[in-house]
Amino acid sequence: MRYVFLIPDYLAGAIQRKLFRFAKSIPVFKGSLHRIATNQNLRVVVAFGGTLNLMRHCQVAREQGADAVLATVSGQNNYGSLGAIKLAPFIKWSERRPSDICVLTDIYTRFIDSHQGPSIAYLQNPELIARNFGYKRENVTLWTDSPFMLERCREAYPGKPIEIVPNVVDCHTFPFVRQSDREPGLLFAFPRKGPEFIAQTMRRYQELGGRYWKLEKIDGLAIGELGKEFKRPQAFLASGDVEGCALPPQESMASGVVVVGKDARGANFSMRHRETAMIANTPEDAAAALRELEEEALREKISMNAHRFIERYFPENEPAALWRRIIAQHMTCG
């Protein structure tokens, strides 16, 4: 019994990245980056969070004793080293066997019907839910990652059981660093997500008399480089209207960074207001929250609470328990 995790070939060249940045600057393409970057040949120029999450699940499955591999069209590892993750062996997608259990993210559910054996559709992004496969088949399992996504999936796939499974948060690449050991007032944001929200928040913050927070925009870094950079800021501005598995806020929490901003209609499910984060869905609220977060005691409390909350998603905790159960179930079923 083998688990095959389908991921796209990663085109990491400078030219491909420039073309992608140009494409995403065109308004008609906004909100459709997955579709822009992906084609029938399963190639991307961005390592999306859903892909990273799937790769991490593969590694956890292997650590629990499963025969698990990553599959791309080329069969090559184009990702290099992803932080501290030990990447599984790669095979060509065409080399899968009918008996393999294939795990695919929502963007690739269209390939499920071409596989005779069992498949797991891992649905992580509300914009990519599609009824483009035989979801009612007995050997097709549906997974998702949050209560928000569960409701969307129930609407799309009525009558089919759907399980919420844990993300895998890479606590090795994003180790915990206390607030007092970080650069005072440094605020990170991802400009590819909600640039208008970021700009308006900082303008409103300054209008409120805020002088503590200094914004630094982070974009285009490999995951290992991102992990190193996340040892620096005290806060992260969550600015996306839509989130898939919402790894950036969760990895911020793992590393001790205070998350402030949008909960993406509940997709950022780890955000609990004034407990694990500061939820602020408008620039006005975000600016006010940043003013509150100038208080050291509040930042310290939230960062510690958030780290304790997110520990459940570290590889050795809920993800490991999930895969022990999955492996046992498939062994029992023969």
How much is the pLDDT for 36? 46
Three-state DSSP at 169 gives: coil
Spell 190-222 as b/e; 16+ CB within 10 A means b.
bebbbeebbebbbebbeeeebeebebeebeeee
Q: Give the confidence band of 13 by pLDDT, cuts at 50, 70, 90.
A: low
Which strands form 186-189's sheet, in the order they lie side by side? 214-217, 186-189, 235-238, 258-261, 278-279
Q: What is the DSSP string of 52-74?
A: HHHHHHHHHHHHTT-EEEEEESS
What is the tally of structural domains in the chain?
A: 2
Question: In this structure, what are the phi and psi dihedrals at residue 268, rounded to the nearest 5 degrees?
Answer: -80, 70
pLDDT at 37 over 70: no
Q: How far apart are CA 13 and CA 299, in angstroms?
A: 39
- Asked whether 163 and 144 are in contact (CB, 8 A), the reply is yes
85 shares its domain with 148: yes
Between CA 117 and CA 8, with CA 137 as vertex, the angle to 5 degrees is 55
Question: Are residue 183 and residue 308 in the same domain, yes or no?
Answer: yes
**121, 110: one domain:** yes
φ, ψ dihedrals at 193, nearest 5°: -115, 110
Query: Sorting pLDDT into bands at 50, 70 and 90, what band is 46?
Result: low
pLDDT at 14 > cutoff 90: no
Average pLDDT, the chain: 88
Do 192 and 304 lie in one domain? The reply is yes
Helix, strand, or coil (residue 219): coil
Contact 287, 205 (CB under 8 A): yes
Average pLDDT over residues 202-208: 97
Q: What is the pLDDT of residue 34?
A: 47
Q: Would residue 212 count as lying in a domain?
A: yes
Instruction: Check whether 206 has a pLDDT greater than 80.
Output: yes
- Distance between CA atoms of residues 305 and 8, nearest Å: 35
Q: What pLDDT is recorded for position 38?
A: 46
Shared-domain flag, residues 75 and 219: no
Is the entire prediction scored with pTM above 0.85?
Answer: yes
Is 39 a residue whose pLDDT tops 80?
A: no
Same domain, 30 and 112: yes
Q: What is the pLDDT of residue 20?
A: 56
> Looking at the predicted structure, is the pLDDT value of residue 33 above 60?
no
Q: What is the average per-residue pLDDT within 102-125?
A: 93
Cα–Cα distance, 17 to 187 (Å, whole number): 25
Sequence length of the chain is 334
- Residue 58 CA to residue 39 CA, distance in Å, equals 23
Tens of pLDDT, residues 220-245: 777 788 889 999 999 999 998 877 77
Lowest mean pLDDT among 7-11, 107-111, 306-310, 321-325: 7-11
Most confident of 140-144, 260-264, 327-331: 140-144
At residue 45, does pLDDT exceed 80? no
Q: Percent of the chain having pLDDT more than 90?
A: 66
In a domain, 173, yes or no: no
The answer to whether residues 84 and 61 belong to one domain is yes
325, 224: one domain: no
- Are 208 and 301 found together in one domain? yes
pLDDT, average across residues 139-161: 94
CATH number at residue 285: 3.40.50.2000
Q: What is the span of the domain harbouring residue 233?
A: 179-313
**Any idea what DSSP says for residue 136?**
T
Q: Are 121 and 109 in contact (CB under 8 A)?
A: yes
CB atoms under 10 Å from CB of 282, counted, come to 14
Place of tokens 């698990």: 68
d(CA 254, CA 188): 15
Question: Would you tell me how many other CB atoms lie within 10 Å of the CB of residue 15?
Answer: 9
- The whole-number pLDDT of residue 78 equals 78
